[in-house]
Structure 1
Amino acid sequence: MNPPRQLLRRMFDAAVAAAQPALCLPPHLPPAPKGRTLVIGAGKASAEMARALEQHWSGPLQGLVVTRYGYSVPCQRIEIVEAAHPVPDQAGMDAARRIRAMVEGLTADDLVICLISGGGSSLLVLPDESLTLADKQAINTALLRSGATIAEMNCVRRHLSAIKGGRLAAACHPARVVTLLISDVPGDDPADIASGPTCADRSTCADALAILRRYGIAVAPHIVALLESGAGETVKPGDPRLAGSEIRMIATPQMALEAAAGVARAAGVTPYILGDSIEGEARDVGIVMAGIARQVAARGQPFPAPCVLLSGGETTVTVRGNGRGGRNVEFLLSLGVALNGAPAIHAIACDTDGVDGQEEIAGALLGPDTLERAWSQGIKPRDALANNDGHGFFQALGDSVICGPTLTNVNDFRAILIDAVSPPPSEV
C-alpha cells in the first residue's frame, strides 16, 4: 500500500477531478435555440463552467456569471465577475442586479443556460426591496456562526431575496431555462444549491422565521415583518412561469466519493462509502467516526482492514471560541482527540472547493502521531478544539492541505484509512 498520507491526498485529488466542469458539463448541454442564447450563473465553479460551455458551444452566446474572488478564468463571450464569499458584498449585488436585468424581455425562442454551483447563495445576492445589503451581510454572518444546517440557512436566504427561490427563472419566462447544477448540498436538492434561483420552493416564510427563532438569531423588526406578512414568499411548484425550466444535475458528492473509491481499490484498499450527505456538528461526527474506525482496527467490524471509510456531506460548527473555525478541520481535530493516537488510523478532511470555512485552506491530514507532535510543541488539542481553532492547530503542525481554488465544489470530502488490524483487547 502507498504511504497513508500520499494515498489519502490522491483520493482527495481524484474526488475534485471527478467534478471538474470540463469533464462533466459538455454531455448536458442543450441544443441551440431559434433565438438568443444567454448564459447566467453564480457559484465557485461557475466561471470554470462558463469556460467549458464556451469551448463546446459553436453558436453565438453572451452572458455573465459571478464567482468567488480568485476563482475567475478567462472567457471570450461570457463576462466573469468576482465577488465575496461567504459573506456577500457590493460586487455580488451589482452582478445580481445586472443578471436580473439581462433576462428581461426574452421570448419563447430564446434559451437561458444557468450555471449554478455551491457558493451561489452569497455570490448572487439581491435583497428584497425592503432590505439592504448590510441586512443580508449581518444575517449571513449570524447564520454561519449559528450551527444551522445548509438547508436551514438557504431557507432563510431564499425568503429574503429578490432573485433566489425560483425568482430568477420566473423572470426569464417565457424563454426556455436549462440549469446545469454542481451539487454541494446533502441530498442534492436543487432548491438548496445556491438557494435555488431557478427552482420552485416548497418552504415558506413561516419556515424561515422559525429557523431564525430556533437558533436565537436576532434580526431587525422590518425583517420579521417581511416574513410574518408572507411578502417574501418564493415561487412555488406548479407556477406557470417555471413550465419551461429544466434542471440538470451534472456533478454530485456521490460522484466524487466514487472516484476516490476507485483510487483506493487500485491501491489494494477496499473502500466503503458511508454516506454522501452526513450532517451534524462537526465535532460530534468526528467522535462517531472515531468509534467506527476503532472497531474496524480492533475487531475487523463492520469491515475488515485494510480499508478506507469515505463520506461526504456538510457538517456545521457552532462557534463558541475565538478560533478560525472550519468544519473539516474541526471534524478532523475531534476525530484525532477521540482516537487519542490509536495506531494504524490516518485521515483527511477537506472541502472540495479548496476553502474550509473562511480560510484559503482546504482542510488537513491526521495521523497516529498528530497528538504527540502537538503536545511536544506545547499545543493542547482539546483546548484548540474548544476554541474552534482547528486551522491554527493543523497549521502549526504543517498538516494543512492547501490546494488553491479547485474551480469546482461538491461539498466536504472525508477519508479515514485503517491500514492494519490491531489485536483486540484481552477479555477479562
Structure 2
Amino acid sequence: MTKAPKELLRSLFDAAVASAQPAVCVPPFLPNDVKGKLVVIGAGKASAAMARAVEDAYEGELEGLVVTRYGYGVPCDKIEILEAAHPVPDEAGLEASRRMMDYVSKLGADDTVLCLISGGGSALLPLPAPGISLEDKQAVNKELLACGATINEMNCVRRNLSQIKGGRLAAAAHPARIINLLISDVPGDDPVNIASGPTVQDTTTVYDALAIIERYGIALPEAAKAHLDRMKEEADAKGPSGAAPLSLEGVSIETHIVASPQRALEAAADVCAQEGIPAYILGDSIEGEASDVGVVFAGLSKQIVSHSQPFKAPCVLLSGGEATVTLKGKGRGGRNVEFLLSYAVTMGGAKNVYALAGDTDGVDGVEEIAGAICDPTTIERAWEKGISPSASLANNDGHGFFEALGDSVITGPTMTNVNDFRAILITEDGR
C-alpha cells in the first residue's frame, strides 16, 4: 500500500464518483437514428452535467429543458438549464415541471425524447395531482424524510400524489419515442424508483402507497389524503385489476442505466487492486437504519481484526445503498455520518481500522458535506474536545461531530449521484 490510510479511502471515494461522471457514461448511449427533433429533458442532481455531455457528444440538432438542484447547473448552448430546490421542493421546481409537461405534449411520432434522469429528480419535479398544492407536497416530503422510510417507499408515495411521476411524463410525450438514460441512486436500480420514474411504467399501486403511509404513521395534508382516498375508491370499484397504475402500453420507451452504485464500487475496487489490497464488495443496495448498519459493519470488522474471518487483513470492505435515519434528536444529520459515527462508537478505537462514508452527490442529508472519515483516534479526540460520541449519535448530529474533529469530506457538487459509498480499511500493522 503506497498511500496513507485516509488518503487511500479518499481516493476510493473519488474513483467511485469519477466512474459515474456524465461525460464518461452518457455518450455511449446517444441515439443515431433520430428522424424528427431530438428533444432533451431531464431532472436530477446530475441532469445538467448529463445535458452538457449530450451537447458535447451529439453531432445532430437538438433542443431541450432540464432541471437540476441549486448550484448544480452546468452551462449549455442548446438545452435550457433550470435550477430548483432539493430535497424539499419549491416554486421553481413546480414551474419547471409544468413547462416540461407542456413541452413534450407538443411532439410528434417522428420526434425523440432523450430523458436524462438522476437522483434528486423526485423533489425537482414536484407537479402535484389535481387539488394538491405545492405546500402540501412540501409537507409530505418533510414527513417522508423524517419517518425512516426507504427511498423506494418514499418514491411510491410521491408517485401516487403526482401529475408527472410514475410514467405520466412519458404518457404526455406520446406518440414521440422516449429514450431514458438513467444514473441510478437507488438500491436495486429499478427505473421506477429513480426520480420516481417519470418516464417508465409504474409497478406500484395506491394500495402500496396507503400501506406505507400507515406503516410509518405519516401525517398527510387533507388534500393529499382526499386524493388518495378517491384513488382507492376508484380502484375498489373496478375490482381486482382496478389498482393497476397508468398503463404505458403503446408508448415507445427504451431505458438504459448508464451509471450505478455497483459500477462505482467496482471502480473503487480497481484502485484497491492497484494498491495491492484485496477489496470485497459486500453489497450495492444495503438499506436499514444508518446507526444499525454501522453496528453490523463494526461487528464484521471486529471479526476480521480478532479472527481473520471472513477475510484477512489487510483488506477493504466496500458497500453502497441508501440507509435511512429516523430523526429523534435535533442535530444536523445525515445518513452517511450517522452510519460512520455509529460504526466508530461501536469499534471503540480499534487501532488498525479506518472508514469513510459519503454521498456521491456531495450532499449528505441537507448539508453541503459529502460525509466523513474516522480513524483509530476518532473517539479519543472527541472526548479530548469534550464531545460525547454517544450523545452526538443520539442527537443525530454526525455532521457536527465530524466537523468539530476536522474529518468532514467536502467535495462540492459532484455532478453525479450513485447513492451512498462506504469503505472500511483494515490494516495489518495499525498504521
Q: Show the counterpart of 1:190.
A: 191
SS in 2 for 1:230: helix
Q: Show the counterpart of 2:379.
A: 371
CA shift digits 1:129-173 (9 cap, x unpaired): 110000000000010000000000000000000000000001110
Give the conservation status (yes or no) of the 8 Å contact 2:139–2:221: no
Give the conservation status (yes or no) of the 8 Å contact 1:50–1:78: yes
- Cα distance in 2 between the residues matched to 1:305 and 1:76: 51
CA shift digits 1:169-211 (9 cap, x unpaired): 0111011000100000000000000000011111111111111
Verify: 1:240 aligned to 2:258, yes or no: no
Give the conservation status (yes or no) of the 8 Å contact 1:44–1:117: yes
Following superposition, the deviation at residue 221 of structure 1 comes to 2.9
Q: Show the counterpart of 1:278.
A: 286
SS in 2 for 1:229: helix
- The residue type equivalent to 1:184 in the other structure is D
Q: Show the counterpart of 1:296.
A: 304
Following superposition, the deviation at residue 421 of structure 1 comes to 6.9
Verify: 1:111 aligned to 2:112, yes or no: yes
Normalising by structure 1, we get a TM-score of 0.96
Following superposition, the deviation at residue 246 of structure 1 comes to 1.1
- Cα distance in 2 between the residues matched to 1:222 and 1:101: 24
**Mapping 1:46-85, distance limit 5 Å:** 46-85=47-86
Verify: 1:101 aligned to 2:109, yes or no: no
Following superposition, the deviation at residue 241 of structure 1 comes to 4.3
CA shift digits 1:351-394 (9 cap, x unpaired): 00000000000000000100000000000000000000000000
Give the conservation status (yes or no) of the 8 Å contact 1:351–1:411: yes
- The residue type equivalent to 1:167 in the other structure is R
Q: Show the counterpart of 1:38.
A: 39
Give the conservation status (yes or no) of the 8 Å contact 2:44–2:118: yes
Following superposition, the deviation at residue 106 of structure 1 comes to 1.5
- Cα distance in 2 between the residues matched to 1:223 and 1:84: 21
Q: Show the counterpart of 2:156.
A: 155
- Cα distance in 2 between the residues matched to 1:289 and 1:330: 13
- Cα distance in 2 between the residues matched to 1:26 and 1:359: 31
Following superposition, the deviation at residue 229 of structure 1 comes to 2.0
CA shift digits 1:234-284 (9 cap, x unpaired): 984853243x01111100000000000011111111000000000000000
SS in 1 for 2:129: coil
- The residue type equivalent to 1:29 in the other structure is L
Give the conservation status (yes or no) of the 8 Å contact 1:165–1:235: no
Q: Show the counterpart of 2:330.
A: 322
**Mapping 1:128-207, distance limit 5 Å:** 128-207=129-208
- The residue type equivalent to 1:265 in the other structure is A
Normalising by structure 2, we get a TM-score of 0.96
Give the conservation status (yes or no) of the 8 Å contact 2:205–2:244: no
- The residue type equivalent to 2:17 in the other structure is V
- Cα distance in 1 between the residues matched to 2:5 and 2:246: 48
**Of residues 351, 354, 364 in structure 2, which corresponds to 1:343?**
351
- Cα distance in 1 between the residues matched to 2:184 and 2:26: 13
Q: Show the counterpart of 1:420.
A: 428
Q: Show the counterpart of 2:224.
A: 223
- Cα distance in 2 between the residues matched to 1:412 and 1:380: 26
- Which is further off, 202-211 or 94-103? 202-211
Give the conservation status (yes or no) of the 8 Å contact 1:305–1:421: no
CA shift digits 1:314-373 (9 cap, x unpaired): 000000000011000000000000000011000000000000000000000000100000
Q: Show the counterpart of 1:10.
A: 11
- Cα distance in 1 between the residues matched to 2:94 and 2:227: 20
Percent identity over the alignment?
A: 63
Give the conservation status (yes or no) of the 8 Å contact 2:183–2:417: yes
Give the conservation status (yes or no) of the 8 Å contact 2:114–2:179: yes
Q: Show the counterpart of 1:426.
A: none
Following superposition, the deviation at residue 107 of structure 1 comes to 1.3
- Which is further off, 155-164 or 296-305? 296-305
- Cα distance in 2 between the residues matched to 1:61 and 1:239: 25
Following superposition, the deviation at residue 124 of structure 1 comes to 1.2
Q: Show the counterpart of 2:238.
A: none
Indicate the RMSD between aligned Cα atoms, in angstroms.
1.4
Verify: 1:19 aligned to 2:20, yes or no: yes
- Cα distance in 2 between the residues matched to 1:222 and 1:96: 20
- Cα distance in 2 between the residues matched to 1:379 and 1:267: 35
- The residue type equivalent to 2:206 in the other structure is C
Q: Which runs of 5+ in 2 are unaligned?
A: 236-242
- Cα distance in 2 between the residues matched to 1:118 and 1:139: 18
Verify: 1:261 aligned to 2:262, yes or no: no
- Cα distance in 1 between the residues matched to 2:409 and 2:401: 13
- The residue type equivalent to 1:28 in the other structure is F
- Cα distance in 1 between the residues matched to 2:244 and 2:318: 37
- Cα distance in 2 between the residues matched to 1:176 and 1:31: 13
Verify: 1:311 aligned to 2:319, yes or no: yes
SS in 2 for 1:268: coil
- Which is further off, 275-284 or 58-67? 58-67
SS in 2 for 1:240: coil
